[in-house]
Structure 1
Amino acid sequence: MSWLVTGGAGYIGSHIVRAFREADIEPVVIDDLSSGFADFVPRDVPFVQGSILDTALVRRALTEYSCEGVVHLAGFKYAGVSVSRPLHTYTQNVTGTVSVLGAMREAGVHRYVFSSSASVYGTPETDPVTEDTPLHAESPYGETKLIGEWLNRDMAAGDEAWQSVNLRYFNVVGSGSDDLYDASPHNLFPIVFDMLLAGRTPRINGDDYPTPDGTCVRDYIHVADLARSHVAAAEAMMAGRRLEPAYNLGSGTGSSVREIMEAIARVTGIDFTPEIAPRRPGDPARIVARGELAARDIDWTMRNSLDDMVASAWSARKAHRG
């Protein structure tokens, strides 16, 4: 019994790989290492190095390892950068997803967990967002994730055996192990950690938003909690249980950027007062998602406090300081 994890050498994917192993489901990884690390893949986990754009390669991985399903995470995930690199984003995220789905059809694999994003909501009309909140993606990245959900829907419409789910989430942080860390140059935690380690002062982009402390509020969720719900979704499918088309993996409350900064100072012991920079264009004041449906069906819960998230991320970052 095995599942293919695309992007399984990445920060999130590697945690999902380990969560599958803990559930006694054998993972198989395919990753082109454009942002992942071969060292993140355990030595005894089958690792296919290559691009999901290579449909034949994906199909061979599915058949060679007798995969029962796919968790699809591989893609270009940087919403801000996607604005300046739309064609690259669409190629990786839309053409790549079509390739994965085509390989699954050719291999006769019908179970599919799609890593979507809360960016499909754009600037939401409701607070907090639910799975029924209208979808208005506002970046090429968000648009590609929305198209990915459409593709999933259309696969289900044309294949009675198709079992699938879209998992939507915001800011994934923390670490489940010191040897797995977030190396993204675009994510808040590694940006702040690197600035502190370099003796520089982190910045907050805007402190005049209509929020309690004036800074933007977002969901921050622990990567290990996220990984557990991907496995729970796969287990539900294998057990024949019906899932909703999409689930939000959200906190329901959120944390502000200033609260994040205060937690980082508290946990690291590095006292700093963040500089205040101008707002970034397009940053909504608050986007927070409810997670009750996911809690009901796929074992979603916030097992880690904000300090837990910071502490685990900081420990992993220090272990790989360079």
Structure 2
Amino acid sequence: MMAASIQADWRDSLPTPRGRVAFDAPLGAATWFRVGGEAAYLLRPQDADDLAAFMASVPPELPVTIIGAASNLIIRDGGIPGIVVKLARGFSDIAIEPDGVIAGAAALDMTIAETAAAAGLAGLEFLSGIPGSLGGAVAMNAGAYGSEIRDVLDWAEIIGRDGTIARYTAADLALSYRHASLPPGGIVVRARLIARGDQPAAIAARMADIRTNREASQPIRARTGGSTFRNPEGHKAWQLIDQAGCRGMVIGDAQVSEKHCNFLINRGAATAADLEALGDAVRARVRAETGIALLWEIKRIGVAPGARS
């Protein structure tokens, strides 16, 4: 099914949400790479109840894709068929509790860390080193600087493909390295993170160390998508990429970062196809050089121009 055909096939039969809807909506500018095609149908639900009611009425054969801050994401140039759900303002609240934080899925990881720190809650500092929002962090068990979501997750509220809202514990989601076992089609809408008391100044100092480390070692001011590949067991992806001679490698206007070679960069005019081809070329070189197969950490969604989903 072509992305553009979804609108004609389903527009009249879809429910009317309280949130905003756009057809043939450009997505590239919303991604950190600044690449990608259109969403045939883009929904920004007003809140969790709005999304749940909408999902309960969507035909089961219609594909639904969820995107958040689009930080660790490549949207292919042919766009995304079916429905794209982007969580925004109605999912960004952060509430402080004595021993934790409850935050919406669209709350930025950095903002959660800063809010907790200001309230004297420690244990979430690592989130300040993770680009993106909480929903994506839960969905991939994001981690950095020695901690990950499974270390702090109490529960997550998830809307199922049938519109039901259920609460899942960290154990329910079987969190593992860069993976969470969400229910099929599930959308994370809210989560509770466990924290502990500490002096705000001490927490702020630890976050400052993380910020300094990131600025020194990562191309954070470039058009990038964060870590491209998962670390294979017993190895660092960047070291394998460097060993294979891929530092600075270019395809089109996409480049392997000179500063940190597990980052891909859009130098300004790259396409999604350039970035994905570069990533695959790096994987092939690393496999040939070391015998190790790198696995993508960046999520790649949508279709190539002219392809069918």
TM-score (norm 1): 0.26
Structure with bigger strand share is: 2
